[in-house]
Amino acid sequence: MAFSSLVRLTLSIALISSFVLDVICFTPLPRFAQTSAFIGNKIYYMGGVVPLPEPIISDFFYLDTSVLSSTDSTTLPWTELTGIDNLFTSSGTAVAGGANKDLFILFGGNMTPAENSSLVIVYNTNNNTWSKPVISAPQGEPARKRKTQAVVDSAGKMYIFGGSTSPEPDISLVNDMFILDTINWSWSTGTQDGAPDARSDFSATILSNGFIVYIGGSNINNRYVPMSQINMYDTNSAAWVDKEATGEIPSPRGGHSAVLTSDERIIIYGGAVSISADGKYTASSPDLAILDTTNNNFVWSQPKASGTAPPQIAYHSASLVGDYMIVSFGNITNKGSSPDVYALDTKDKGYKWITSINTNTLPGTNSGKSSNVGLIAGLSVGGIVVLILLGGGLFWFYRNKKVMEEVIETPGEFTDAGFNRRYESMNSATTSQISHDFSRHSTSANTESDPSREFHPSYSHNFPVQHDPEIDDDDDKEFRVLPKELQPEYLEKKFNNNDNI
């Protein structure tokens, strides 16, 4: 029973260790046009375009930034989650919504199969469940949009402007504004008075004063919006405001990313333009540009970041984690998808691409809080060690159990096997060279007078051969001498009189 229990325990630990290793070893495929949102201390990603026969993928996973100590692809703390109904999606937009900003809210994008698609899909990061909320729409709901960028304000309202309402190559752009209340689940519309031209592939960033800043993108016939032209939507008054930026104006672009620092700088990265007939893209220049919004006049600058920069990419993800802009995935211009993650240190306006991160400077981390990755890694290493120890213990237990089963005999009962093992070493040097006729042996007066000389045919080969000196050579009889502990007198004293011999 103990043996079978040990086997079951070992198999259980093996399965757990296998599961833990699968979690730790998850590595997402290269991709671009994925959807992402920064929630808590994790960046959640969904779908995207991958270099496979089925170009749109359905996976869902996150990067735990609380333990992001390096951008080395072999050590990134990825965790794979469960997607929804094998739903494949790309070119959508997502925000951290809900009353506590703990909901991953996906809107629009390309989705297949059609029967599983929905305008809005929600993942609850607390209980790890998917849902398709029922949303009231007294003013109507928007059409499915692609290549737009949504933002969410402090009240949980998700603002969705522009985008394309049809898949490529039949692009149909819009310039409407829809607002989704992610707490009460209702649609409303924003004003179109003074709205900019219809466009897609722009970036959207909401400032602390409630102004949404729209930068770049392309409009009808692939005309790219000048980067000096800044369009803003005031969420307080539901009004559009235009502003002309000055300074070092970067080149036009679409598919770029934008993040907002704590001191109201908008950092954009990447992007490209498609102006050739063959559909190839040209990377925009420079990759990195900063829009200072701290005063009434918005000013562009083009800092020269130190360190090793990412390749020229577009349709990637970017999130600001503390002072670090985390850039992930994307389409390397005309060279395919990227699997990599990069980090830009933006502290004190000193821009530097880094590969190592001090986790103590990341938000949401402290010495008293253990991370999932740390826990999983610990469980994995511990599980492997325990598995090895149990494996060794199992081998030892089985080996010794087998020996004990063979050696241990019932008190008072002696077997050939028991004698064979007990005196194997004594017998090996003598009996291997002796062969005799057992028929010659018989119980005689000589042997009867000495119990230790009792002849046991079935045991005779276990004990050394001796010759009785009292018998002449002609009539000599071989006999085996029982060891002391097997002699009747000894056993009688030991078992009947309980003497300590």
DSSP labels, 246-271? EESPPPP-BS-EEEE-TTSEEEEE--
**With 90 as the cut, is the pLDDT of residue 58 above it?**
no
Counting residues of the chain whose pLDDT is more than 90, the rounded percentage is 56
Question: What confidence tens digit (pLDDT) does each residue in 445-499 have?
Answer: 444 444 444 434 444 444 454 554 554 544 444 444 555 555 556 555 655 555 5
207 contacts: CB under 8 Å, gap ≥ 6: 213, 260, 264, 293
- Measure the CA–CA gap between 11 and 444, rounded to whole angstroms: 61
Least confident of 81-85, 208-212, 304-308: 81-85
For 387-434, how does the pLDDT look when each residue is reduced to its tens digit (9 = 90+)? 555 555 555 555 555 544 444 444 444 344 443 444 344 444 444 433
Closest CA to 13 of 406, 384, 500, 497: 384
Of 186-190, 384-388, 447-451, which gets the smallest average pLDDT? 447-451
pTM (2 d.p.): 0.71
Tokens (6 digits) for 497: 């009189």
Residue 189 class from Cβ within 10 Å (0-12 exposed, 13-18 middle, 19+ buried)?
A: middle
**Residues facing residue 70 across a β-bridge:** 356
Confidence of residue 279 (pLDDT cuts 50, 70, 90): confident
Find how far residue 405's CA is from the centre of its chain: 46
Of residues 222 and 34, the one with the higher pLDDT is 34
Position 113 pLDDT exceeds 50 = yes
Percentage of the chain beyond pLDDT 70 is: 66
Looking at mean pLDDT, say which of 57-61, 299-303, 349-353, 482-486 comes out highest: 299-303
The tokens of 47 are what? 């779908």
